[in-house]
Each structure stands twice: as C-alpha cells, then as structure tokens.
Structure 1
C-alpha cells in the first residue's frame, strides 16, 4: 500500500479484491481533484484486470481505519478557486461527475463501507455502489442547500428514486440520516456493526472468492437482519413535499402545528431561497432522466452556480460562494442570501440555471451514456 502522506487515496489488490482507502482524515476525507483522479485511475485499471473480482472502498478517521467515510468535496477549494478564477474548479466537477458515472456503471461489484460521515461527494462515490453498507455511526446527507448549492454528484438521480417525495424532503432540507434511517430511505442496503468492519475488511484479502457476487454475499453475512423503520411519516412527507412549489411547501409546513412541520419549516427558512427553488426543479426533472442526462444537467447547474450570468452574478455575489463563506470560511453562519425570502424568487431566476452553457457537442460530459 502507498504510504506517501501527500497521497490521499491508497489503492491495493488484496486477494481478489481491489481495496480503496480514502486517507485524508484531518479533512474528513473531503475529495480533492487529485483524489478524484486517483480513484478514477484505480477503477479504470481494475475494470479489465481478471485478478480483481470486486472493489471495496472505505475511509479513515483520526484514530485509524473507518470512523469517517467522506465529508464531500473540498468546499474551501471551491471558494478559493471561484474567487481567483482557477480553471481547476471546472476540471473538478467534470472529473468528479465522470467518476460518479463510472461507479454507477462499473461492471464489477463495488462495495462502499459508509462508516461515519458520508455527505455530498461521499454520497457520489457510494450511491452507485452495488452494495452500500452503513453502521450505527453513519451520518448520511446531501446538505448542499446549506451552502447555497444543490445536491449534485448524481443527487438528482438517486434522490428522485427514493419512495414518493422523500427525495424532495431530503434534498431541500439536507436532513442527516443515521445508518438505519438510510436503509429505510433506500440510500443504503445493509446495516453492520462498526466493530465488525476491521475484521470484514481483513477477510476480503484472505477469503478465496471465486466470483464478485461471492464477495458481496460474504459482506452481507455481517448485516443486521431487522428491517429498520423510518423515523418520519411517509404520508406527511408526500403530502407536503409533493406540493407544486417551494412557497406552497413552506406554507403547508407553517400551517401545521406538529414538531416535525415546525422544525422543517425553520430549516427551509435558513436555506438559500433561490437554491431551494432550483433544487425542487432539479429533482423533479431528474425523475424522467437517465443517470448520464442527470449528470449533464448537474454539470450545467454547477456552472451556473459559480457563474450566474443570467442574474449578473459571479464570485462573491454567487449564492454558493456566499454560502461557503458563511459556513466554512468566516464561519459566521449568517449568509446574505439574494433574494432573502422564499416568496421573492421569480420563475425567471430559476429558469436560467437550466439553460445550456455549452453546445451539446461541447458539453464536458457529452461522452457519458
């Protein structure tokens, strides 16, 4: 295994399994462009390697293996690059989304061990897995509305495939799911005790597997047998988040006296009003899209997030740059959203995000199918 401290993805073949370890624990394994490239290179190398029957991926915490999976993309890099005009920002999203597509379409079993925090970009490198394993320590979310962004990395695709209108609820609020909740939501396949992960990982290199499916079956022997129950009411989620618009959703929540409705309304009132409207449209469009179509739409969206030309905004005036500033740079948690109110967002403000910034033939992800 690589031991260079500047290399944050360790790739090795153990037995018949390609093993990937994210090793940037001080940043909760947040993805850099170099990490995305290393993951892509390993997966492409192993795709045609007959020695490799399956791939497994894990993270590392400050105490050692596991404990954290991936907190997402490196948002400080996003902020710095947006302000400096660094073209690497464009490369980051193009290559990240291509990696997400590679994982979803990988021809061999890909097993994600999503222990600890797994958010944003971490969901992008795990939701396409053929087997998604969580633990009692897992914290899953697509929290991008908190920074004036949208649930990207294929979020439109996998959130829109949740039952009913659960995807709108999770995408708009950024609600954090415990491991059992993620299984209930259809965003994980199996719940495993975190204390069993080290032995499970070691066994991947020691067991004489004959097929990739045998690797998956072995992992599933470690799971809890009970089916978790969702802690939210599916009926209420569908009633509210199936409404036609963000103002209608918030109005319904604020007319409801339940704790869930009151807390959910308060969360939405803190988010970027403009991006809430964009996210609702994103998830609903994605329901009728293939994965490749969704990723191309999201690549358009992220371009508009940093270069919102139809609103004459970029740099510090971008909702995304402002959201990252408030959350991760200045940490004042007082973003100055524009518009400031959900009710003040016009359809024209939203529509511009879904315009094509490139001709179809020149789209950065035109090659995806």
Structure 2
C-alpha cells in the first residue's frame, strides 16, 4: 500500500513502513506539512504490531536516493517571520517533537543518509537506530551560516561527539563525509550508494520474527567504513582551539596561529554571526549535561529568542535574507565583531519565555 501525500510518500510493504521524502527541487527541505505527515505515519506504525521497523530515504530530480534532506524550508521561515505567521512557532514545536519521537522510536528506524544530510535532515536521521552513510554523504549542521544555531537536537548529538568536534562542527558548519560521520558517532554503517536500492527492496521482501531479529540482520549487511578524512593533526587542532573559553578567544587564537587549517577556520568563523557564535558555544556546552528532552526544550527557547528577542534585528532573518532571499551573501550582523558581543545579550537567549508548565514541549519525557 502506497500513500502519496504531496512531498511525502509512505508505503507499507511486508513488515516495514517506508518513507520517501519527495520534494527534490527543494532538496527535500522540510515544510510544516511534511513534519506533520511524518509524525502521523510514524505514530501509526509505532502502534501497529504488523510493522517491525521503518526505513526513510530522500529523492532527487533523477529518482530516489542521491539526496536525503537539506534541512528546514528557510524561505518559509523568512516569510513567516517577516509577516507574523503563527505557523513559524508551530513549525519548530512540531519539528522538535518529531525529532524526539524518532530518538525514542520503539522499533528499528533505518535512515539512508545518502547525499546531502544537513540541518533538519540530521534531525530526522540522528535518532535512528541504523544510520547509513554512503560515499556521496555530505553531512553538516550549517545553521550559523544563516544566523541560527544547530537545532533539531543538534546540541544533544553534537555535544556527544568525541573531544571538541561538537563545538567545531556547530560553530563552523563545516561539511564532513562518511568516514568522519562514523568516527564522530553521527552514523553507524557504510554502504555503497549503488547497493542502497537492493537493501531497500530486500527490506520489503524479507521476513523476521521481531524487531530485534531485524536489527541483528541489518548489522550484517554493511561494508567496512572508509577512513576519516579528518586526520590526527586536525583533530588535535580541533581539541585545542575549540576548548577555549569563548568564541572570541577561539577566533583570535585561530587567526594568529601559523597553521593553514587554523587561519582558514578563523576566517570561516569571522563570516558567521558573532552573536550566534557565542550563543551556539553556550548551547553545545550546556547540552552535554542535558537529556534530549531538556536540550530540545532549551532549543525551543533559543529559536523563539532568535526571532523575537530583538524586534527588527533578528540575526536569523538577516542571515536567511543574505543567503537565500537577496543572495548578496553580505549579512549585516549586529554586532559585527565577536569582540563586541555583550555577555548579557547571550544570556538572554537562555531565559525561557514560558513557565515550565506552559512550555510548548513540556510533555517530552
């Protein structure tokens, strides 16, 4: 049985519920409707004893696979923020609840993370029990490019990367491939891109006694992981520079170091919103000691502050304008230098606008 519901295709074949993200022209960027459709499908399959597991993939202009999900629909976010659309708040509340559902899913959740896996695409894959990457995987949490922070549980899963990798990926938005994703704990298995279709079809035709048998069978289907592209020298630099006390100290230390990697990374950070660099660093470090639910509640507070803390001066609205609307790639950050970010302004992002019993994600356990 197949259900074609616009940008989401759901199918129940054999014992597996299959999901194909079907918005290829937008690189499967998530809309509010897609978030709602995913939630409905996953809740129904979780309650159905005939369904042993779920598999999810993306599609591209030539067909299936090749692109997983580039994130949330940032054009929608810009339009909603500038017009006062209430769906802006609904989008983040429902997206984060979906992320939590996936992390806590009671059955094997198999994410085919082929091609672009960024932002919201990480949110609907990182909670999976089987996270598959290919030689085409391009993984990142690039939210600082648009004056946002790595949300969708990014604080939780990035903070659990080894060493200071979480801070590095969160602040720079740098892209990694399959080998690094596995080494950093952001993926579980490697599979050649050409073998994905066969595994997908086998999932539809094979039979298992229960979800545990399915999970065990899956563990035998994969190939040796490629070596990480991030060498020992870079890891040493990451752990050295991204352990510093604040983003200002990081930028200044990177800029004055003699290594090409350090200077290049310092130049990257100079392009990001100075305010959000400090916010993101605080986010990741707080998340290390939080549960997933508490992290998502913190991120819900943060995203509300991103759009509403300074009326008319949202770093996120300005970042999206520069990247995707006007495309001048010249965001006017305020303040313009990391040296000028007031600590009090950063602290305001972490004050919740809701009482605990009124929080939109209060029911997350």
TM-score range, shorter chain: over 0.9
CA deviations on 1:308-332 (whole Å, 9 max, x unpaired) are 1xxxx224x2100000000011111
The match for 1:179 is 178
How many residues in Structure 1 have an aligned counterpart in Structure 2?
Answer: 363
CA deviations on 1:108-164 (whole Å, 9 max, x unpaired) are 111100001010000000000011100000111000000000000000000000011
The match for 1:145 is 144
Query: Shift of residue 269 of structure 1?
Result: 0.3
Maintained 8 Å contact 1:70/1:121: yes
Q: Equivalences for 1:1-369 in 2 at 5 Å? A: 2=2, 4=4, 7-226=6-225, 228-232=227-231, 233-308=234-309, 313-315=310-312, 317-369=313-365
SS at match of 1:137: coil
2-structure distance, mates of 1:266, 1:227? 29
Query: Shift of residue 92 of structure 1?
Result: 0.2
Maintained 8 Å contact 1:20/1:58: yes
SS at match of 2:54: strand
2-structure distance, mates of 1:342, 1:58? 39
Maintained 8 Å contact 1:133/1:190: yes
2-structure distance, mates of 1:227, 1:320? 36
Query: Shift of residue 259 of structure 1?
Result: 1.5
Greater Cα offset, 233-242 or 275-284: 233-242
SS at match of 2:196: helix
Query: Shift of residue 3 of structure 1?
Result: 6.5
2-structure distance, mates of 1:172, 1:12? 38
Maintained 8 Å contact 1:183/1:228: no
CA deviations on 1:315-355 (whole Å, 9 max, x unpaired) are 4x210000000001111100000000010001011011001
Query: What is the root-mean-square deviation in Å for CA atoms of aligned residues?
Result: 1.2
Maintained 8 Å contact 1:272/1:337: yes
Query: Shift of residue 185 of structure 1?
Result: 1.5
Query: Shift of residue 214 of structure 1?
Result: 3.0
Query: Shift of residue 255 of structure 1?
Result: 1.9
Maintained 8 Å contact 2:274/2:338: yes
2-structure distance, mates of 1:230, 1:181? 6
Query: Shift of residue 305 of structure 1?
Result: 0.3
SS at match of 2:162: coil
CA deviations on 1:76-125 (whole Å, 9 max, x unpaired) are 00000000000000000000000000000111111100001010000000
CA deviations on 1:220-256 (whole Å, 9 max, x unpaired) are 3332224623514322211110111111111211121
**For structure 2, which runs of at least 5 residues remain unmatched after alignment?**
none
